[in-house]
Amino acid sequence: MDTVLNNVAERQEILSPQEVAAKQEFESIISSIRYTINGIAVQSIHDNNIRINYNFELERMSQQLRLEAHSGRMTWSQAARQASETRNVVMELLRGKSSPLGRSIAEWMKPKGRSFSMLLDVNANSYYGMQFNALSPLQRNTVYGAIVASAGRNNIMVSTTLNSVSKFCRGIIIFSLAISLYNIGMADNQVDTAMKEGAMFTGGILGSIAGGAVAGLACGPASPICVPIGVFVGGVMAVYSVDYYW
């Protein structure tokens, strides 16, 4: 009985050239997807750090402008206008530092910042139920103050979601690195395998960034479908190429 089982096991271990090629192809595709997900995870962590810096800079700016207005060194009107303009400028600067995927999501959610005149009417209607031009000087100062204060606040739901995604992505990267370390440890040529794993990890990051950038140029950076597809395809192609030519 043992002899029969051993013969079956040996038969299962003997693969035809076609089966070997198919197995290698499957493993290459799985690795490409894994490292592409790694690349997306790295970008998500980066984008969350960008958002944290964005929130910090805006809060500091808002506090400084309120101090300037309270001290009389500038009027509330000047403080509100500067808060509105600065928030929009900082938003565009930080979007430029974000990954293509992060920028596409941000611009899809909020294509551009609100103009100062729009903020005046929105806050006037919110506080007093009328247009800004119909307000008294005291009421206008209240609106100006609200604009300055709101310039330093962030979208709690978005920030909380990004923090959660960032933590999840760190877990993905740690898990993937554990797989890479296992592959290196089990390899006959550990140095070569380590270099290959590193190249594929880098390829997943750079390929997904490049794919997202190309898709952004083709479809527009605010495309919620085209850019993510470009990110995924670019990453998979880059990692697959590294694995194929290594």
In tens, the pLDDT along 119-178 reads: 999 999 999 999 999 999 999 999 999 999 998 888 888 888 888 989 999 999 999 999
> Is the confidence at residue 5, as pLDDT, over 50?
no
Across 72-90, b (16+ Cβ under 10 Å) vs e yields: eebebbebbbbbbebbbeb
Mean pLDDT of 182-209: 92
Residue predicted with more confidence, 238 or 109: 238
C-alpha dist (Å) from residue 150 to 58, 78, 143, 160 = 10, 15, 10, 18
Burial of 108 (0-12, 13-18, 19+ CB in 10 A): middle
Share above pLDDT 90 across residues of the chain, in percent, rounded to a whole number = 54
For position 13, what pLDDT does the model report? 58
Would you place residue 197 in the very low, low, confident or very high pLDDT band (cuts 50, 70, 90)?
Answer: very high
CA 57-61-62 angle, to 5 degrees, is 120
> Is the confidence at residue 9, as pLDDT, over 70?
no
Residue whose C-alpha is closest to residue 102's, from 39, 191, 32: 39
**Global confidence as pTM:** 0.77
> Is the confidence at residue 108, as pLDDT, over 90?
no
For position 77, what pLDDT does the model report? 95
For position 191, what pLDDT does the model report? 93
In tens, the pLDDT along 22-80 reads: 888 888 889 899 999 999 999 999 999 988 888 888 999 999 999 999 999 999 999 99
Its sign, for the CA torsion 215, 221, 224, 228, is: positive
Contact indicator for 39, 204 with CB cutoff of 8 Å: yes
Mean pLDDT of 212-238: 87
Q: What is the mean pLDDT of the chain?
A: 87
Share above pLDDT 70 across residues of the chain, in percent, rounded to a whole number = 93
| Alpha-carbon gap, residue 124 to 117, rounded angstroms | 11
Give every CB contact of residue 144 below 8 A, 6+ residues apart in sequence.
69, 76, 77, 79, 80
For position 141, what pLDDT does the model report? 93
Residue predicted with more confidence, 15 or 227: 227
> Is the confidence at residue 18, as pLDDT, over 90?
no
Across 159-188, b (16+ Cβ under 10 Å) vs e yields: eeebeeebeebeebbeebeeebeeebeeee
What are the residue boundaries of the structural domains of the chain, listed by start?
Answer: 30-245
Residue predicted with more confidence, 80 or 3: 80
For position 96, what pLDDT does the model report? 87
